[in-house]
């Protein structure tokens, strides 16, 4: 796992090695083991390496046999051994044992179509000297990030936005549409970034910069329309075999390897499959909090005993005042998923013992594990009744109503008027449209004419099944632009590589091809997945309810962190930025502190935004 940067000077003047070095060193946390550069006239590439495979021979930038191709990679190619044998059989000569080198030789044969052969997590840049072409690409699920910017003077790219900001010709001008996305969703979906002049390369896309022109193209998308005609037994065996293989190929490492273990179904399944494939005890790591309702340590310990792992637990009461600015700084743009904080802690502690960790990410998106899928389907079934009952709904002030009452108001009032995609969009929205209308002012208020969730309408048209539409939407938005960003930045802040077998592209493709009834059945998600884990997992883990990976911010914002929160979002500097109506912000704060309305997620977004502003713009 690594960090990559690059720059092309449009004037033809030589690339600045000093600038390249500054950009690269901003990513030292991603690659603490080595640094490398390649300069070719106006083109420069930089690389920071986290050594995982072929510790001595895998330095980058990496060249092909003639030196006409230069490559920098962030990630792992899990099928590299099979590809290497195939390519060597056709006469390609390899100089290292690393997985990255297969990309060079595949590109020699197929150009950008080489992406179709790669199974892994990656973001890479390849400079083709003969064609004077820069080729950038991201993996299918978006596990590894890549941002880029084009100005009249240059084309630049980097693994993280903070490295790109070293370029002197980039302006730190906030994109109001991106800020609206953040406040709507808690993250900024690609291709936008918080800065108007910087873009994110979307997952499963590649970019060609050639002859001064930029072209971005997709190369893959999960297909929910092609369904397997199999019964539960046949589907279960296919799934179990594919999961076992996905875990097996992720155990290749020349450095210590372990796994995150929360005690939930997904991480326990990964650890269980690792224990079957590994000749040595698996090293597992868990984090817990003093508030028992937020701690899963007892379930993690149960799974650790069942699989006889070498288990370590970390009890943490996060000092938000100390850790949150560091977390915000690493994400480079506003990022509002508060579970980034415990993920950051877990990665930090795990890195003290291993360099690579497997995670259970992806189970909910593949197999319909989130309660909102069931709840949204129930709402659709009740919609005719809701339309009939809507005129009877009592409309009272939002501030005086309890959570269930406000949900009922929405179901009876707004929901029947929305499209199906709009109703699902409401499930995943932090600041709904009516609250943003009361909150916004100035340039931000102008964004109310657009909809941050318009992309859902296009997703809804791709397939006919209601559950598949929601799963597809999460693969297009929430999974790559929130969950994958959270894990990548939190782990790479500490030089820890995280691998996710449940998000293997072949697992994803198989899961998409399963009928909806094998995912969500009798109101419970992960039906087939849970069924196939019966022989492997303890019954207590199979039967437990889903628990989010979070911290008790809601009570902290009312007590311990009340003054800290007020000192940021109600500060004269924050209220004077021109984004929000001061009275609307005060109302959110006062309603939460009084216990009338739980605004935890919304207040956290405002806090993160203010901290980010102070770190990157003030």
Alpha helices in 93-194 (DSSP H): 101-110, 161-164, 176-185
Residues 6+ apart with CB under 8 A from 29: 3, 330, 492, 493, 494, 495
Residue 114 annotated to the active site: no
Residues in the chain: 618
Using alpha carbons only, what angle is made at residue 340 by residues 398 and 267, rounded to the nearest 5 degrees? 110
DSSP 216-260: EEE-----SS------HHHHHHHHHHHHHHHHHGGG--SS-EEEE
Q: Are 391 and 375 in contact (CB under 8 A)?
A: no
Residue 340: name the closest of 352, 325, 351 by CA. Answer: 325
Residue among 1, 2, 512, 588 flagged as catalytic: 2
Q: Are 409 and 401 in contact (CB under 8 A)?
A: yes
Q: Are 383 and 413 in contact (CB under 8 A)?
A: no
What is the SS3 assignment for 294? Answer: helix
Alpha helices in 428-519 (DSSP H): 433-439, 442-445, 455-460, 466-476, 478, 484-492, 505-513
How far, in Å, CA of 68 to CA of 195, rounded? 34
3-state SS of 353-406? CCCEEECCCCHHHHHCCCHHHHHHHHHHHHHHHHHHHHHHCCCCCHHHCCHHHH
DSSP designation for 503: G
Residue 373: name the closest of 240, 526, 507 by CA. Answer: 526
Task: List, by residue number, the catalytic residues.
Answer: 2
């Amino acid at each position: 796992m690594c960090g990559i940067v690059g720059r092309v000077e449009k004037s033809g003047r030589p690339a600045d090695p000093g600038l390249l070095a500054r950009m690269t060193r901003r990513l030292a946390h991603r690659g603490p083991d080595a640094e490398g550069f390649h300069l070719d006239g106006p083109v420069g590439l930089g690389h920071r390496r986290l050594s995982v495979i072929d510790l001595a021979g895998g330095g980058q930038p990496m060249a092909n046999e003639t030196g006409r191709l230069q490559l920098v990679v962030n990630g792992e190619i899990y099928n590299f051994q099979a590809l290497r044998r195939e390519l060597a059989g056709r006469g390609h000569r390899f100089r290292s044992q690393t997985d990255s080198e297969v990309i060079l030789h595949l590109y020699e044969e197929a150009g950008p179509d080489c992406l179709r052969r790669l199974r892994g997590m990656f973001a890479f840049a390849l400079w083709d000297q003969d064609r004077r072409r820069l080729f950038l690409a991201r993996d299918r699920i978006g596990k590894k990030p890549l941002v880029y910017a084009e100005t009249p003077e240059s084309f630049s790219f980097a693994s993280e936005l903070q490295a790109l900001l070293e370029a002197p010709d980039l302006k730190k001008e906030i994109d109001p549409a991106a800020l609206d996305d953040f406040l709507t969703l808690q993250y900024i979906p690609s291709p936008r970034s918080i800065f108007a002049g910087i873009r994110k390369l979307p997952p499963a896309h590649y970019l060609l910069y050639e002859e001064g022109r930029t072209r971005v193209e997709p190369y893959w998308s999960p297909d929910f329309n092609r369904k397997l005609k199999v019964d539960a037994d046949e589907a279960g065996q296919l799934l179990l075999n594919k999961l076992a293989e996905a875990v097996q190929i992720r155990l290749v490492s020349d450095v210590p390897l372990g796994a995150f273990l929360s005690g939930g179904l997904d991480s326990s399944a990964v650890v269980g499959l690792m224990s079957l494939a590994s000749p040595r005890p698996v090293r597992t790591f868990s984090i817990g909090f003093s508030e028992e309702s937020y701690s899963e340590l007892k379930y993690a310990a149960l799974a650790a005993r069942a699989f006889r792992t070498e288990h370590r637990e970390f009890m943490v009461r996060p000092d938000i005042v100390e850790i949150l600015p560091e977390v915000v700084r690493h994400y480079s743009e506003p990022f509002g998923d508060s579970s980034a904080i415990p993920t950051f802690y877990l990665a930090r502690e795990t890195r003290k013992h291993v360099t690579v960790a497997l995670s259970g990410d992806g189970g909910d998106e593949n197999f319909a594990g989130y309660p909102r899928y069931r709840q949204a389907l129930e709402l659709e079934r009740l919609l005719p009744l809701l339309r009939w009952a809507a005129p009877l709904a009592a409309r009272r002030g939002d501030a005086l109503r309890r959570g269930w009452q406000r949900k009922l108001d929405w179901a009876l009032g707004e929901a029947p008027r929305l499209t199906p995609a709009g109703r699902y969009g409401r499930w995943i929205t932090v600041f709904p449209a009516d609250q943003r209308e009361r909150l916004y002012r100035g340039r931000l208020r102008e964004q109310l004419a657009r909809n941050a969730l318009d992309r859902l309408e296009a997703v809804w048209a791709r397939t006919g099944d209601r559950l598949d539409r929601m799963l597809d939407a999460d693969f297009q938005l929430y999974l790559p632009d929130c969950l994958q960003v959270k894990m990548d930045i939190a782990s790479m802040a500490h030089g820890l590589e995280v691998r996710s077998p449940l998000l293997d592209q072949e697992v994803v493709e198989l899961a998409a091809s399963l009928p909806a009834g094998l995912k969500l059945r009798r109101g419970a998600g992960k039906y087939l997945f849970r069924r196939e884990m019966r022989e492997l997992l303890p019954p207590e883990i199979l039967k437990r309810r889903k628990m989010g990976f979070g911290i008790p911010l809601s009570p902290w914002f009312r007590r311990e962190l009340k003054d800290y929160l007020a000192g940021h979002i109600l500060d004269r500097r924050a209220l004077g930025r021109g984004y929000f109506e001061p009275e609307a912000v005060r109302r959110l704060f006062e309603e939460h502190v009084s216990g009338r309305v739980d605004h935890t997620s919304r207040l956290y977004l405002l806090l993160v935004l203010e901290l980010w502003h102070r770190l990157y713009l003030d």
